[in-house]
């Protein structure tokens, strides 16, 4: 197991349990106590968790933007299914925007065979995923690096999108509700995401069930501005109904079923 995957599993276990011990992690991962201690030290240094005597615990994340590693640990299988369903909305010859996020990165990984496609993005991870895909033209925005989401944001990002128009925008966020729409805890990210959304004829949000019903500090776009939501079958039905009442088309991706999902 590579270190990045091991640390992702450690973070996932810590988030689920709240507190974990070095010994239990070592036994589960099949590695030495020393290896776990090194992982925990690095993760604590990165602000992902808090070291405790003999283990680690989660830090309070209610008021902060989750890191990329934290996001990858959440609902991974659901994100893969959501991306597969969203990929079915992209056609040959399309021009699309793919925003930052772990679900949108999965989408980039699943569209590599679409011919004659143009992808505009501010996500460094999406750029890297499509770096060697000859049939996809990649256009990167300008901007300032936000390390926690591996993306370019800020006034330069907004300006570089101002005169752009594409067929579809695929975007994500930290929370989605019928009342406040798509939200994020960071104002600069929200402004850049609004610029992404404004550049598309159709706005498609990729959000797994952990995001549905969640409300964070800054609104990106209202629910009424979202054309389609692609989510998984664990999402709250009452929250999905609230989004439908705002005119959002809801597309459900079945995690254990065939890719492509079903419309609801």
Residue 65 lies in a domain: no
Residue 64 lies in a domain: no
Instruction: State the pLDDT at residue 73.
Output: 54
User: In the listed set 18, 35, 59, which residue is the last one of a domain according to the structure?
Assistant: 59
Q: How many domains does the chain have?
A: 2
Neighbours of 230 (CB within 10 A): 28
Range 71-76 average pLDDT: 65
Q: Of 77, 84, 68, 83, whose CA–CA distance to 8 is shortest?
A: 68
Query: What is the rounded CA–CA span in Å between residue 26 and residue 198?
Result: 48
Secondary structure E strands in 6-106: 19-21, 50-52, 55-57, 95-98
> Are residues 128 and 85 part of one domain?
yes
Task: Identify the band that residue 36 occupies on the pLDDT scale cut at 50, 70 and 90.
Answer: very high
User: In the listed set 34, 59, 84, which residue is the last one of a domain according to the structure?
Assistant: 59
> Are residues 135 and 257 part of one domain?
yes
Instruction: State the pLDDT at residue 260.
Output: 41
Residue 217 lies in a domain: yes
- For residue 31, what is the domain's CATH number? 1.10.10.10
pLDDT at 244 > cutoff 80: yes
Q: Is the Cβ–Cβ distance between 97 and 166 less than 8 Å?
A: yes
pLDDT single digits (tens) 129-163? 999 999 999 999 999 999 888 999 999 999 999 99
> Are residues 140 and 25 part of one domain?
no
Structural domain of 249 = 71-263
> Are residues 115 and 47 part of one domain?
no
Look at residue 157 and give its three-state secondary structure. helix
Instruction: State the pLDDT at residue 4.
Output: 83
Query: What is the rounded CA–CA span in Å between residue 51 and residue 106?
Result: 31
> Are residues 244 and 130 part of one domain?
yes
Cα 246 from chain centroid (whole Å): 23
Residue 81 lies in a domain: yes
pTM over 0.75: no
């Amino acid at each position: 197991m590579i270190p990045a995957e091991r640390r992702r599993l450690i973070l996932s276990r810590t988030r689920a349990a709240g507190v974990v011990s070095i010994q239990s992690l070592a036994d589960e991962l099949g590695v030495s106590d020393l290896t776990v201690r090194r992982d925990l030290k690095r993760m604590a240094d990165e602000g992902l968790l808090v070291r405790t005597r003999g283990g680690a615990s989660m830090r309070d994340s209610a008021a902060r933007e989750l890191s990329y590693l934290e996001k990858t640990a959440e609902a991974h299988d659901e994100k893969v299914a959501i991306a597969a369903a969203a990929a079915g909305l992209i056609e040959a010859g399309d021009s699309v925007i793919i925003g930052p996020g772990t679900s949108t990165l999965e989408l980039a990984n699943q569209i590599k065979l679409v011919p004659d496609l143009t992808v505009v993005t501010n996500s460094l991870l999406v750029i890297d995923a499509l770096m060697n895909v000859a049939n996809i033209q990649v256009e990167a925005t300008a901007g300032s690096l936000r390390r926690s989401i591996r993306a370019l944001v800020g006034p330069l990002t907004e300006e570089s999108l101002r005169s752009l128009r594409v067929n579809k925008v695929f975007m994500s966020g930290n929370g989605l509700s019928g009342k406040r729409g798509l939200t994020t805890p960071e104002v600069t990210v929200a402004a850049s995401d609004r610029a992404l959304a404004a550049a598309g004829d159709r706005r498609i949000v990729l959000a797994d069930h952990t995001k549905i019903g969640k409300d964070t500090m800054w609104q990106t776009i209202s629910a009424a501005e979202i054309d389609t939501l692609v989510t998984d079958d664990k999402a709250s039905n009452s929250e999905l109904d609230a989004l439908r009442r705002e005119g959002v088309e809801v597309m459900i991706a079945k995690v254990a079923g065939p890719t492509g999902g079903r419309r609801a």
